[in-house]
Amino acid sequence: MANRLPVRWDDDSGQWVTSPGGLVSALSPVLQARGGVWVGWPGVAGGSPKAFTVDGINQVPVPLSESDIDLFYEGFCNGTIWPLYHDAIRPVELHRHWWHPYVDVNRRFASVVASGSDAADSIWVQDYQLQLVPGFLRSMGVTNRIGFFLHIPFPPVEIFGRLPWREEILEGLLGADVIGFQTHQSLVNFGRSARAFTSATGPAETLSYEGRTITTETVPISIDSPKYADEAERPSARAAATALRSELGDPDAIILGVDRLDYTKGIDQRLRAFETLLADRPDLRGRVVMVQVAVPSRQNVGEYQVIRERIERIVGRINGAYGAAGWVPVHYYYRSLDHMELLAHYMAADVMLVTPLRDGMNLVAKEYVAVRSEDTGTLVLSEFAGAAEELKGATIVNPYDVDELAEALAASIDSDVAEQRSAMRVLRRRVDRWDVHRWAAHCLESIEGVGDPAF
Ligand code: ADQ
């Protein structure tokens, strides 16, 4: 179960269609292959649509009202938890009138699952919107095996401890038998908070709490890498990448950023690094282009409007200062790309900039690596992305350091193919070996209590 169903209602075609996003990309192939039921909010306020099936996945909708969306989703989830768990890089808003709807919605999700599951079912709860669900399920007498996976970072105890409802959140999570984290750092942070603010004892990996043992694991999420690699081999994909390159004016280097438009993603620092590069290296003007794709996200949350305006101002400033007839330095799209378009962008890009200020994992980094079938190109990766714990062979940068970013960009553009290949081969081996199928199989085995506890 997850906050959102993996579908949205499309008014134009009059049917449910699969919607993009990290969690959807990760779990859809798993449910298609293994069966099961996805419980979540269908993405439109009100109503209570009946269960339905899309692309072979059974969907059980949990309705949310306009007020739930406002107070639970945009309020507590995205105004309190999201900034708090991302190192409080934006002010964390704390409101009791957001907390109570969070409790209420979590209880409703738990009721739907409690009444709809058989004794043998494993229950797998996804992410920060539903942290109270495992605890509610236990209080409703559910004895099934329960897993929880946190897609975003779990913050250090000093930051988490600010939350007035820290005990309730931890007690909710501790209702699970197995809790998965993207990184070892998050696992350690959780163990510290659990011991500090609840009666839990013991090492972070096996906490004792109210007579039960809660296992925690580091299980970094991945992507359907074989699918990406196969698609990249298609002549049509290669042709699309070549066409894109030529539409961009056949530059010496294409630098790419692909993100949800979110203040955690470091898009403004990244653009300023490109601006610095153009200022410092006049020889590159007219020869390199940057493409930044930003998917509209959480547009009703104030901080998202602020960051969008800031990004668009910087894009305008760079193009105004450096653009010339026949050369636009930054190509900026504020929209989603369809899957094959996205693939063509990854395939055409010589340098992929993945520079979040904090990120649970970051699937874009892995998607880029998966399509580099010739082992060329450079991944510039933030040390604060969960992916950096795994993808150590990338060019690792501090995303706050605009000069360091600009230097990494210059070095990537100047690098020769042999250097690129030796780094990319290591990255590809990792992404090929640990794909989303292995991730999900491992998580499910752990929840069922049959897996190898050591990752
Ligand atoms: P997100 O913050 O959404 O996910 P990310 O991991 O990068 O971030 O996933 C984004 C997904 O959306 C990718 O699969 C990507 O292909 C897709 N996408 C991005 N831009 C797109 C575009 N313009 N058009 C179409 N598709 C686009 C959260 C956490 C992450 C964690 C994931 C999964 O914040 O840290 O990696 O969940 O756990």
**C-alpha 239: how far from chain center:** 29
* CATH topology identical between 7-222+437-448 and 225-433: yes
Between helices 402-414 and 267-280, what is the axis angle to 10°? 60
- In the three-class reduction of DSSP (H, G, I as helix; E, B as strand; rest coil), residue 133 is classed as helix
Neighbours of 213 (CB within 10 A): 10
Is any ligand 1 atom within 6 A of the Cβ of residue 293?
yes
> What is the rounded CA–CA span in Å between residue 273 and residue 269?
6
Out of 68, 86, 151, 224, the active site residue is: 151
Six-digit token pair at 165?
A: 């409802």
Token code pair at residue 320: 């105004």
The β-bridge relationship of strands 178-181 and 206-209 is unpaired
**Is beta strand 15-18 parallel, antiparallel or unpaired with respect to 146-149?**
unpaired
Answer yes or no: 151 catalytic.
Answer: yes
pTM for this model (two decimals): 0.95
215 vs 219: CA distance, rounded Å:
12
User: 336 CB less than 6 Å from ligand 1?
Assistant: yes
Q: In this structure, which CATH number among 1.25.60.10, 3.40.50.1970, 3.40.630.40, 3.40.50.2000 belongs to the domain 7-222+437-448?
A: 3.40.50.2000
Q: How far is the CA of 19 from the centre of ligand 1 (A)?
A: 12
CATH of 225-433, one of 3.30.499.10, 3.40.50.2000, 2.30.30.20, 3.20.20.70: 3.40.50.2000
* Three-class SS state of 5: coil
Catalytic member of 127, 177, 259, 359: 359
3-state class (DSSP) for residue 366: helix
DSSP for 428-439 reads HHHHHHS-HHHH
Taking only Cα atoms into account, the Rg of the chain, rounded to an integer number of angstroms, comes to: 22
Q: Identify whether the C-beta of residue 390 lies closer than 8 Å to the C-beta of residue 225.
A: no
Q: Is 19 in the pocket of ligand 1 (CB under 6 A)?
A: no
Estimate the crossing angle of helix 363-371 against helix 417-433, to 10 degrees. 120
Measured from the Cα of 297, ligand 1's closest atom is 3
Q: How far is the C-alpha of 184 from the C-alpha of 187, rounded, in Å?
A: 5
Residue type at position 352 = M
pLDDT value at residue 401: 98
| Dist. CA 19–CA 46, nearest whole Å | 19
Query: Is the shortest distance between the CB of 361 and ligand 1 below 6 Å?
Result: yes
Helix (H) or strand (E) holding 294: strand 288-295
Q: Can you say how many angstroms the Cα of residue 30 is from the centroid of all Cα atoms in its chain? A: 17
- Index of the ligand 1 atom closest to the CA of residue 335: 23
Q: Is 4 in the pocket of ligand 1 (CB under 6 A)?
A: no
19: pLDDT confidence band, cut at 50, 70 and 90? confident
Q: What are phi and psi of 419, to 5 degrees?
A: -65, -45
Backbone φ and ψ of 46, nearest 5°: 75, -170
Instruction: Provide the token pair at 264.
Output: 């955690």
pLDDT digits (tens, 9 = 90+) for 243-290: 999 999 999 999 999 999 999 999 999 999 999 999 999 999 999 999
24 in contact with ligand 1, CB cutoff 6 A:
no
- 92-137: per-residue pLDDT in tens? 999 999 999 999 999 999 999 999 888 888 899 999 999 999 999 9
Q: Using an 8 Å Cβ cutoff, are 108 and 38 in contact?
A: no
Q: Which atom of ligand 1 is nearest to the CA of 359?
A: 35
Ligand 1 centroid distance, CA of 210 (Å): 37
Distances (CA, A) of 74 to 2, 83, 281, 440: 16, 12, 42, 28
Are 202 and 215 in contact by the 8 Å Cβ rule? The answer is no
- Report H helices in 183-224: 184-197
pLDDT score recorded for residue 453: 47
Q: How far is CA 138 from CA 61, 144, 208, 307, 344, in A?
A: 22, 9, 16, 40, 47
Q: Is the CB of 371 under 6 A from ligand 1?
A: no
Share of the chain above pLDDT 70, in %: 97
Token duo for residue 323: 């653009």
If one compares 78 and 19, the residue with the highest pLDDT of the two is 78
* Closest ligand 1 atom, residue 293 Cα: 23
Residue 393 sits at φ, ψ, to 5 deg, of -80, -5
Per residue in 39-91, pLDDT tens? 999 888 887 778 998 888 889 999 999 999 999 999 999 999 999 999 999 99
What are the extents of the domains in the chain? 7-222+437-448, 225-433
Angle between helices 225-233 and 363-371 (to 10 degrees): 40
| 308 Cα–ligand 1 center, Å | 17
Mark whether 359 is an active-site residue. Answer: yes
